[in-house]
Every structure is written in structure tokens, then in C-alpha cells.
């Protein structure tokens, strides 16, 4: 067994790198590429890291004497067209992203032995994983500064349609500016994916999932992802920087994935009681299981962390003001006003007219039959949301929960296009499927 020199994790003898922090487990003397020149312009001087797809070296341009980082695709993967496509995608993605917190790519090509490579700026410093392993956790001010810079990089990627999908401490690099302040770079866009890319595209090569502690519930289910998936994993980073450990761990991958799908994280205040309330609320919201319950974008998350987000009450007020129910309520009072000329009670003989119950609207016109005509349409038209619940076949709790969590086309249709009178008509006809559908939509809309 091998032991990782950084985290002291026990690993198999044939392991090339530590899956936890990326530390290379191969001694420099055994690497035949050290000292070689790639593409006649980059001499490889030191092996600095290795991942699932390739190895990163500290190099130097043979003419410009400029320090450079060279990432070489593993030799076996260089023969795999899908692996080459993914590697090229990482390079082109990085080249498109013009942000000070994303590593810059300067070259792409093929080495003499057939390996694909790209060259990028060389960074001096250490990963967030290494720093947290040494210091345990960050003060809120430092954690927020790191999150702001990572968020800036993610916002740039999201703006052109990319989701990173592999945000974890080993892919966040901490360097120092000349003034001594901390500068953050987001690394490894090897799993970056266009939001509108077909599901399953470029998910081979053994890199469909990163570290199970840093993936979203939708990644765990292999569902389609959008920028809110990155917000979830950024929330994990925030949680770990503030508390000293990620929200979910376990004995194995399956155990951790199950917790992402089902378990609630321990509240931050249980670990660090004196954390500011806006930070706690923002981090816990970013870790919501459903994407719709998280922040819509990174900017919203960062604003909430800093306490700049408007209170929830302000956001809900316009929705409540737009309710259409108060307008129809005065209408039932209108039939009562024509009833003032009750002196015409003699034409009560006209009462047989409402004998045709199918005509609900004309029945309201004959004022003399106020008692029979006004009250009869009221149950059919008044409480639109209550009428389905009077049906004889209530939906079992599991079905209501499913309808509540999944806004199906049927639920959306009833919530937007079908009128209450249509639902009431279906109820009157005692149609089982219609009743079930109405109940499902009511549970979904009323959550």
C-alpha cells in the first residue's frame, strides 16, 4: 500500500495520484518525460500534478525562458477520439473565458510521442485543499473573499453557456498578488459542459463524476445540469471553508451520493454558532436539493452572502398583489342587488325555468328565483380549488408528493389553462382520472 504524502490516505500500490487532493505518487526520478522537450518549445522540468485525464508539468519555453505549465494527456487516452475531444474542449473552453480568476491557455498541440498537450500560465501557490488541510477552516471574511473570486470565474463561464461540474478544493488555486493579497484561480475545466449539450455527450473517459463529496443531487442522478448545479457545489465549498469539513461524507461513494439526494446538512450554526445570519442562510439555501429552491445565479448567491439580497417578503409581495381571486368575489353580490325589487315575488311561477340546471349563467338572471337560482351556481363556481377535494377518490399521499415535486405537463396545464368550472364539471361527472389530475395540480400549486 502507498501513503499520500499530503493527506496520508492509504492507496493501492499501482495508484499514480491521490484521488483526494491530486498529489502525485510517482517519484520524479521515475518519470521519463522530465528533461524532454515538447513540440520543440517547452522543456519539462518538474511534475507538479496528475489527474484522470493527464499530467501537469512545470516547464519553460526554450527561447523565451518563460515559465509555463504544460498539461499532457495520458498516452493511452491520446488514442481515444472521445478523450482527445474532451481534452480539446477543456483547452478551447479556457481560451474562451477571459477572466482574471481563470487560468490562461496559450498553446495547444501534439508532442512527438502522440500525446495531446496544451500550455497555460504557471501558478505559484497551493490548492484550497492543501490550505484547508493545514489550517482547518477560514474566518468568514477570508471565505467570502475566496467565494467572490471563484464566483466571478463561474459567472463568466455561465454567461457563455458552460457549467464547470467539478468545483472542489483541489481545483481552486490560491496565489498571492504583488501587494500580498490572496488571488484565486479556478482550475480544471475538463468536465465543463455546455448547458444545451445533449445528455450523455462527452461523459466517457472515466471522468463523468468528480469527488462524490462535491457534486450536486442532479449530477448524482445523472440528470441534466445548469448553472444551479455549480451553485450547489460552490455552497459545499463555502460550508467546508467555514466549518472545516464538507456537509456530507461517508464510508463510500454510494453512501455520500445518497446523502446528497436525501440527507439535510448539519446547520452551520451547530458547528460555528457565531457565524453571521446572512452567511448561514445563503449557504444553506445554496445546498437545497431542488435546483428551483437555490439561487438563480451566482450573483444572487454572492449578494446574499454579503447580506445584500432583498428580504423574501419583498419578493413575495408582487405575487400576492397579482392574485385574481379578490376581483370575482364582488360578482356574487350583484345578483343580490337586482333582488331589491323583491315585490315581483309573484312571478315565482317562473321558478320552473331553472329546471334546466345545465344553464348556470342564465339562472342568475331571474331575480325572483333568488333563493334557488343564486345559491345553486355558487358551489360550482365559487371555491374553485376546494371543489376537487370533495371528490370521492382522494389521491394517496405518495401521489400528492410526486405531483408536488414534479411540475408535470398535466399539472402545469391545469394550473394555467383549465378553468375552475371545467374542473368542477369533471368533478360533477365523477370521472376518476380527472379527479386525480385535479387533486394533483391542486397539491402542486398550493405547496
List the catalytic residues. 166
Query: What does the DSSP 8-state code read for residue 202?
Result: T
- For the chain, how many residues are written? 447
**CB 25, CB 49: distance < 8 Å:** no
3-state SS class at 2: strand
**CB 367, CB 338: distance < 8 Å:** yes
Number of H helices, E strands in the chain: 18, 13
Any residues with CB less than 8 A from the CB of 1 and at least 6 apart, and which? 10, 11, 12, 13
Tell me the angle at which helices 227-243 and 140-159 cross, rounded to the nearest 10 degrees.
170
CA–CA distance, 403 with 398 (Å, rounded to integer): 9
Residue 180 half-sphere exposure toward CB, CA atoms < 13 A: 0
CA–CA distance, 29 with 66 (Å, rounded to integer): 24
| DSSP letter string, 22-41 | --B-S-GGG-TTTT-EETTT
CA–CA distance, 397 with 445 (Å, rounded to integer): 16
H helices of 115-267, in order, are 128-135, 140-159, 217-220, 227-243, 253-262
With cell 460555528, the residue in question is: 272
Containing 54, the helix (H) or strand (E) segment is strand 54-61
**Distance of alpha carbon 57 from the chain centroid:** 33
Distances from the Cα of 74 to the Cα of 11, 124, 202, 265, 362, angstroms: 20, 24, 17, 37, 80
DSSP lists the bridge partners of residue 10 as 3
Q: Are strands 193-194 and 172-176 parallel, antiparallel or unpaired?
A: unpaired
DSSP lists the bridge partners of residue 341 as none
Query: What does the DSSP 8-state code read for residue 183?
Result: E
Tell me the angle at which helices 432-445 and 397-405 cross, rounded to the nearest 10 degrees.
60
Q: What cell does 168 get? A: 472542489
Amino acid at each position: 500500500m502507498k501513503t499520500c504524502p499530503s493527506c496520508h490516505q492509504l492507496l493501492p500500490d499501482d495508484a499514480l495520484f491521490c484521488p483526494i487532493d491530486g498529489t502525485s505518487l510517482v517519484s520524479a526520478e521515475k518519470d521519463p518525460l522530465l528533461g524532454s522537450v515538447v513540440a520543440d518549445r517547452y522543456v519539462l522540468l518538474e511534475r507538479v500534478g496528475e489527474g484522470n485525464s493527464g499530467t501537469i508539468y512545470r516547464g519553460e519555453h526554450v527561447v523565451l525562458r518563460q515559465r509555463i505549465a504544460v498539461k499532457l494527456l495520458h498516452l493511452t487516452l491520446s488514442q481515444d477520439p472521445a478523450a482527445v475531444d474532451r481534452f480539446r474542449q477543456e483547452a478551447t473552453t479556457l481560451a474562451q473565458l477571459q477572466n482574471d480568476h481563470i487560468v490562461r491557455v496559450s498553446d495547444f498541440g501534439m508532442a512527438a510521442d502522440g500525446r495531446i498537450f496544451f500550455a497555460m500560465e504557471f501558478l505559484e501557490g497551493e490548492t484550497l485543499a492543501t490550505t484547508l488541510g493545514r489550517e482547518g477552516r477560514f474566518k468568514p471574511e477570508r471565505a467570502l473573499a475566496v467565494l467572490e473570486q471563484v464566483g466571478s470565474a463561474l459567472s463568466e463561464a455561465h454567461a457563455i453557456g458552460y457549467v464547470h461540474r467539478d468545483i472542489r478544493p483541489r481545483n481552486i488555486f490560491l496565489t498571492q498578488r504583488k501587494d500580498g493579497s490572496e488571488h484565486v484561480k479556478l482550475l480544471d475545466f475538463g468536465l465543463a459542459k455546455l448547458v444545451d449539450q445533449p445528455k450523455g455527450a462527452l461523459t466517457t473517459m472515466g471522468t463523468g463524476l468528480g469527488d462524490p463529496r462535491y457534486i450536486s443531487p442532479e449530477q448524482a442522478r445523472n440528470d441534466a445540469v445548469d448553472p444551479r448545479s455549480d451553485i450547489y457545489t460552490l455552497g459545499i465549498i463555502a460550508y467546508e471553508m467555514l466549518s472545516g469539513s464538507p456537509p456530507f461524507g461517508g464510508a463510500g461513494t454510494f453512501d455520500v451520493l445518497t446523502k446528497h439526494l436525501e440527507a439535510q446538512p448539519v446547520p452551520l450554526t451547530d458547528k460555528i454558532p457565531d457565524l453571521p445570519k446572512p452567511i448561514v442562510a445563503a449557504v444553506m439555501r445554496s445546498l437545497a436539493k431542488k435546483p428551483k429552491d437555490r439561487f438563480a445565479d451566482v450573483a444572487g448567491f454572492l449578494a446574499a452572502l454579503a447580506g445584500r439580497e432583498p428580504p423574501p417578503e419583498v419578493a413575495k409581495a408582487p405575487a400576492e398583489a397579482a392574485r385574481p381571486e379578490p376581483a370575482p368575489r364582488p360578482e356574487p353580490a350583484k345578483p343580490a342587488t337586482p333582488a331589491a325589487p323583491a315585490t315581483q315575488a309573484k312571478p315565482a311561477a317562473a321558478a320552473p325555468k331553472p329546471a334546466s340546471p345545465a344553464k348556470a349563467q342564465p339562472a342568475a338572471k331571474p331575480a325572483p328565483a333568488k333563493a334557488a337560482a343564486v345559491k345553486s351556481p355558487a358551489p360550482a363556481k365559487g371555491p374553485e380549488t376546494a371543489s376537487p377535494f370533495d371528490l370521492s377518490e382522494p389521491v394517496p399521499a405518495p401521489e400528492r408528493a410526486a405531483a408536488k415535486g414534479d411540475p408535470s405537463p398535466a399539472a402545469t396545464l391545469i394550473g394555467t389553462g383549465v378553468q375552475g368550472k371545467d374542473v368542477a364539471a369533471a368533478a360533477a361527472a365523477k370521472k376518476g382520472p380527472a379527479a386525480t389530475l385535479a387533486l394533483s395540480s391542486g397539491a402542486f400549486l398550493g405547496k
